Amino acid sequence: MVELYRLRCATCHTGDPSLSGNDILRWHRETPQWEIRQVDGVRHLERVFIFKSFAEAIAFTTEVATLAVQEKHHPFIMIDYDEVTLKWWTHKVQGLHLNDFIMAAKVDSLIRLNPLR
């Protein structure tokens, strides 16, 4: 098994291919808590995190933002009091890229490191 959270995001270029269905299934096995959604014909990874307070939701969001800056791959983030919705997809490929699964796994590792969330 590949430990996705240990990988680094690669630079993407416009026109690079998005992942095939088989590759999506392969990497989704490593990030099973993330849902694969289709929005306007573009596949996304999505997960909702629920916290005990707004402050915890903001702290988590800050950790995700720090990871995103380090990896140069940024999510859609929506905060609704104690809920944080994250969505990953790669604009340049108009779909899912390995980077999206890497970042989902990195976020999952944040939760594993702090299970009180």
Q: Across-strand partners of 50? A: 83
- Count CA atoms closer than 13 A to 91's CA, side-chain side: 5
pLDDT tens, residue by residue, 22-54: 999 999 999 999 999 999 999 999 999 999 999
| Other beta carbons within 10 Å of 107 | 25
CATH number reported for the structural domain that contains residue 73 in this entry? 3.30.1360.20
Is residue 29 situated within a structural domain? yes
What one-character DSSP code corresponds to residue 115?
T
Domain that holds residue 49: 25-113
Angstrom distance (rounded) from CA 110 to CA 86:
13
pLDDT of 65-115, one tens digit each?
999 999 999 999 999 999 999 999 999 999 999 999 999 999 999 987 665
56, part of any domain: yes
Q: Give pTM, 2 decimals.
A: 0.92
Q: Is residue 50 part of a domain?
A: yes
Per-residue DSSP letters for 4-66?
A: GGGS-PPP--TTPPPPPHHHHHHHHTTSTTSEEEEETTEEEEEEEEE-SSHHHHHHHHHHHHH
15 in any annotated domain? no
Tell me, yes or no, whether 11 lies in a domain: no
| Structural domains counted in the chain | 1
In a domain, 65, yes or no: yes
